[in-house]
Structure 1
Amino acid sequence: MSKERSSNFELLRLLCIFGILMMHTFGGIDTSVSLLNTEIHVLVNSIFNMGVTCFILISGYFGIRFDFKKLIRLDLMIIFFTVFGTIAVGNFGIKSLIKSCIPVISRYYWFISCYFFLCFLTPFLNQIPEKLSKENFRKLLAILLLLFSVIPTFGFFEIMQDGGKGLVHMVMIYLLGRYLSLYHNRSHNVHRLLSGLLLSIGFIFLADSSLTFLRGKLYTTFCRDCSIFIIFGSVMVLLLFREIHFHSRFINRAAGNVLAIYVLDGTVQTFLLKWIDLKPYAGSWFLVFPAIGYVLAIMGIACLLNEVRKATIGHLEPWIVDVVNRVVMWGANVVRTVAEKLMAYFLA
């Protein structure tokens, strides 16, 4: 099931996190003071809100093999930087400190919490393509997309009420990635893929831009994660990058820090704001250029911090992972034994 990832997909992951940070940056600026920057804000959302969907499509395309120890290592990194960030910004509230110690369970970062839970489901999700025929797999995806994407996109109401920022959306996109890997692994026409991507972005931009103009405030109706146009555009992006073939150790190394960048985004921004504040440029025509530099600075600092962590306390991780794994396995066995005895007693 697993395939070797070349640098094309690692570059895509870096571009995705760049786009996500661009949205976060523009989200903290009142662009309504400038018509040009309002339109740029809409365009940024139209293009870059494909980032999360692309991340999950990549995971589905290659398939996630459940590895509990790998999840523990990832959790240790998240806990370290979350606690570090909470203390660094001076947030010493009991609730904040507790949440920072259990970021996955407390949904401190919605994406990471949902990704963790997705990993626990993948041993079962990976069996779906094996058990279903191509036709039935396609029907399953059609039903999922209809219920959780098409209806929310055009009906302006959602079954899940999360805008696609939840586990149901991730499961659907993961399965879509599995389908593309199994049944669309041939080469595609690059010009058609690019045309499809541009049409998708164009529709999202025109629709949200029109709503923003008519309502007098920023609208993101068609660029939500659950939007069928975001999903379609993300598929086009994935297939486009699959047509690129190259290898770069630098890109592969940098891409290994993507989740650390996501976790450190808020903390690094808090410190950068002491020296760099983009809000005074909200009405300037050149706002997008310092915003790009600002995001690249965040990515660079976050990568550096994570590399330092790996070179120092990261050496303790194998030992910590082994201890945590043993404790969790022991706890799981105890719970299973108790549950079996209770079921045997009450259901006898």
Structure 2
Amino acid sequence: MAAESDGHKQRNSSFELLRILCMLFVIGGHLIGKGMQIPYDKMLAFGGQDYVFARLLYSFCVVAVDTFILISGYFGIKSNWNKIVKIWFSVLFYSWLVAVYKIVVEKELVSSLPYILPITSNEFWFLSCYFVLCAVAPLLNKLAEKLSRKDFVNILLLCLVIIYGWASFNYILNFRQFIPDFGGGIINFSILYLIGRYIRLYGFTDYSSLFYLGVFVGNTILMVCMELLFSSIFHFGFTSFENINSIFVVSNAVFLFLFFKKLHFHNKYVNLLAVYCLSVYIIHCNDIGLNFLTDFFHLKNLHGFEILWSVLFIPPVVYIVCSVFEWGRRSLFSKMENMVLGAIVRRWKSDKI
């Protein structure tokens, strides 16, 4: 999520808008997948109208994680410890608030423990994996720079076949996965990062923005149709293609990224909102946040086209509210954080001497 910008150049708002859109997708996906939890009804055609509509919307949202990593790979992750430590401050602030709430209000000590050490416990799995990616990014950057274009292409094609092709084939036959993390691990993140680096270094086949958008939409509809077909055959809700290491999701992330790459504009408000992207994820993606959103918006009572609100209306509201919370936190604690950060930097420099 915290992709680097091009030094002192003015940030291209198209990528900032993509980051915001992906976070809206994350929120929408959580509202559908964890809030509504619409079951597959084998007595109805394709599981029922609500199920079909929810799967279609969720399939558009699921590209968010892969796209975030593509953005990071495209711009490259630099060794910016100030930024990493500030991310830690934000994570710990909200995570510890959740832990305090669970202990004081819910009287739940055991369930609060993962929020005390959120990265180690993998409570925010994306951040845990992203911090690991930050650690290995210098090696991935060197690999991308040292490889010839031909070798780079061959490595990526090999990874596409072994990691994504094999996973998708096993999903179809319900076989055990070769890498059982369903894409939520450092292997998938590293490959996506390298794909982003390749696009930055060598570009990609140049088509119009409408072409990439059309392929993205068409591929998503194809994925949903195949899932519904397999669901009818197997008599249960087949959703395996929605895992972030399926060939459908990975290719869709690339198409969506390339669509926004063709856009070029600057908007200070878009850039400002994108700054709060990570905090929006932390604030809403926890037991307290998701349960609150489920109850507040009566998600389990949404049916038919009402489900569309979970993607079009609710996520922007959640994003704005969470951004206001983060703005307030930074206003109150930025000076304190800078003091702590300065002390850490001075201590680190003195240890080096």
Residue 329 of structure 1 and its aligned partner are, at CA, apart by: 7.4
Matching residue's letter, 1:302: C
Q: Which amino acid aligns with 1:215?
A: F
1:230-249 equivalences under 5 Å are 230-249=249-268
The corresponding residue for 1:54 is 67
Residue number in structure 2 paired with 1:344 = none
Report the counterpart of residue 30 of structure 2 in structure 1.
24
Structure 2, unaligned stretches of length 5 or more? 42-46
Determine the structure 1 residue equivalent to 2:142.
127
2:232 maps to: 213
Match of 2:343 among 303, 306, 323: 323
- Alpha carbons of 1:87 and 1:212: their partners in 2 closer, same or farther (altered >3 Å)? farther
**What is the rounded CA distance, in whole Å, between the counterparts of 1:199 and 1:275 in structure 2?**
34
2:158 aligned counterpart, secondary structure? helix
Which residue identity is paired with 1:8?
A: S
Are 2:175 and 1:155 aligned? Answer: no
CA shift at 1:191, angstroms?
Answer: 3.5
Distance in 1 (CA, whole Å) between partners of 2:59 and 2:209 is: 21
1:293 counterpart residue number: 313
Identity %: 25
Q: Deviations over 1:221-246 (max 9, x none)?
A: 11210011111111111111011111
Q: CA deviation at 1:198?
A: 2.6
Q: Structure 1 residues 290, 65: CA separation in 2 closer, same or farther (over 3 Å shift)?
A: closer
Q: Could you tell which deviates more after superposition, 92-101 or 253-262? A: 92-101
- 1:193 equivalent in structure 2: 212
Q: Single out whichever of 55-64 and 283-292 deviates more from structure 2.
A: 283-292
**Aligned length, in residue pairs:** 332
Give yes or no for contact 2:168–2:246 (8 Å, CA) kept in 1.
yes
The answer to whether the Cα contact below 8 Å between 1:269 and 1:298 also exists between their aligned partners in 2 is no
* Structure 2 residue aligned with 1:227: 246
Secondary structure (helix, strand or coil) at the match of 2:122 reads coil
**Residue 343 of structure 1 corresponds to which residue in structure 2?**
none
Summarize the Cα distance change of 1:194–1:294 in structure 2 as closer, same or farther, 3 Å threshold: closer
Superposed CA offset, 1:42-101 (max 9, x none): 112221111000000000011111212211110110000111123235355444444323
Q: Which residue of 2 aligns with 1:88?
A: 101
Residue 296 of structure 1 aligns with an amino acid whose one-letter code is P
Q: In structure 1, how many angstroms separate the alpha carbons of the residues matched to 2:338 and 2:205?
A: 39
Equivalent-residue separation in structure 2 for 1:39 and 1:219 (angstroms): 11
> How far apart are the structure 2 equivalents of 1:30 and 1:96?
22
Match of 2:76 in 1: 63
Q: Does residue 1:12 correspond to 2:18, yes or no?
A: yes
Partner of 1:137: 152
| Contact in 2 for aligned 1:42/1:205 (Cα 8 Å) | yes
**8 Å CA contact retained: 1:268, 1:302:** no
CA root-mean-square deviation: 2.4
- Partner SS state of residue 265, structure 2: coil
| Secondary structure of 2:306's aligned partner | coil
Contact 1:75 1:104 in 2 (8 A): no
CA distance in 2, matches of 1:329, 1:97: 35
Aligned to 2:92: 79
- C-alpha change, 1:82 and 1:330, in structure 2 (3 Å) is farther
Q: What is the rounded CA distance, in whole Å, between the counterparts of 1:148 and 1:14 in structure 2?
A: 28
Report the CA distance between 1:213 and its aligned residue.
3.2
Length-normalised TM-score, structure 2: 0.86
Q: Which runs of 5+ in 1 are unaligned?
A: 334-348
- 1:151-190 mapped onto 2 (5 Å cutoff): 151-156=166-171, 157-184=176-203, 187-190=206-209
Cα distance in 2 for partners of 1:200, 1:163 equals: 20
Q: Which amino acid aligns with 1:234?
A: A
The CA distance in 2 between the partners of 1:327 and 1:98, in whole Å, is 30
2:324 counterpart of 1:304: yes
Is 2:286 the partner of 1:271?
A: no
Query: 1:159 and 1:91, CA in 2 relative to 1: closer, same or farther beyond 3 A?
Result: farther
Tell me how far apart the structure 2 counterparts of residues 264 and 185 of structure 1 sit (CA, whole Å).
36
Contact 1:212/1:218 (<8 A) preserved: yes
Secondary structure (helix, strand or coil) at the match of 1:197 reads helix
Q: Which moved further from structure 2: 95-104 or 201-210?
A: 95-104
1:210 CA drift (Å): 1.6
Q: Which residue of 2 aligns with 1:41?
A: 54
Provide the TM-score with structure 1 as the length reference.
0.87
Q: 1:103 aligns with which of 118, 124, 130?
A: 118
Write the distance in 2 (CA, Å) between the matches of 1:329 and 1:147: 44
CA distance in structure 1 between the aligned counterparts of 2:341 and 2:233, rounded to whole angstroms = 54
Which one is further off, 52-61 or 246-255? 246-255
**Whole-Å separation in 2 of the counterparts to 1:45 and 1:272:** 17
The residue type paired with residue 156 of structure 2 is L
